[in-house]
């Protein structure tokens, strides 16, 4: 149902946070959002919440560690993990806003 809502949207906001990649659901959502960006011209607006954009873009250690854990759970050759990594790489390279809440 949520994925259908993404498909029917014109704008999607991705909120990157400290532990974003530890959530399989967040990774599934970002993959769907980036798929719709490519296929349906969805506008994607990244927000970096309490995390430095350079840390997300540079593959922050906690982000990479979480992806490695997903790989070990799903096996390295998992197509789903490959899709997540590609989508995450594309999404974090987009222009976005940094909110530090200070």
pLDDT per residue as tens digits for the range 6-37: 999 999 999 988 888 888 898 999 999 999 99
What does the pLDDT look like over 32-86, one tens digit per residue? 999 999 999 999 999 989 888 777 766 656 666 666 766 777 675 588 888 888 8
What is the pTM for the complete model shown?
Answer: 0.82
CATH number of 41's domain: 3.40.50.10140
Q: How many domains does the chain have?
A: 1
**Catalytic entry in 29, 35, 71, 90:** 29
DSSP string, 13-72: EEEE-TTGGG-HHHHHHHHHHHHHHHHH--EEEEEEESS-HHHHHTT-HHHHHHHHHHHH
Q: Does residue 29 have an active-site annotation?
A: yes
46 and 14 Cβ atoms separated by less than 8 Å? yes
The pLDDT value given to residue 14: 94
């Amino acid at each position: 149902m949520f994925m259908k809502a993404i498909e029917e949207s014109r704008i999607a906001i991705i909120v990157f946070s400290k532990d974003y990649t530890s959530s399989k659901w967040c990774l599934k959502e970002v993959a769907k959002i980036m798929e719709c960006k490519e296929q349906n011209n969805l506008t994607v607006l990244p927000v970096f919440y309490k995390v430095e954009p350079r840390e997300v873009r540079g593959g922050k250690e906690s982000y990479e560690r979480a992806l490695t854990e997903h790989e070990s759970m799903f096996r390295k050759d998992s197509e789903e993990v490959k899709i997540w990594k590609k989508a995450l790489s594309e999404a974090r390279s987009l222009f976005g806003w940094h909110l530090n809440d200070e």
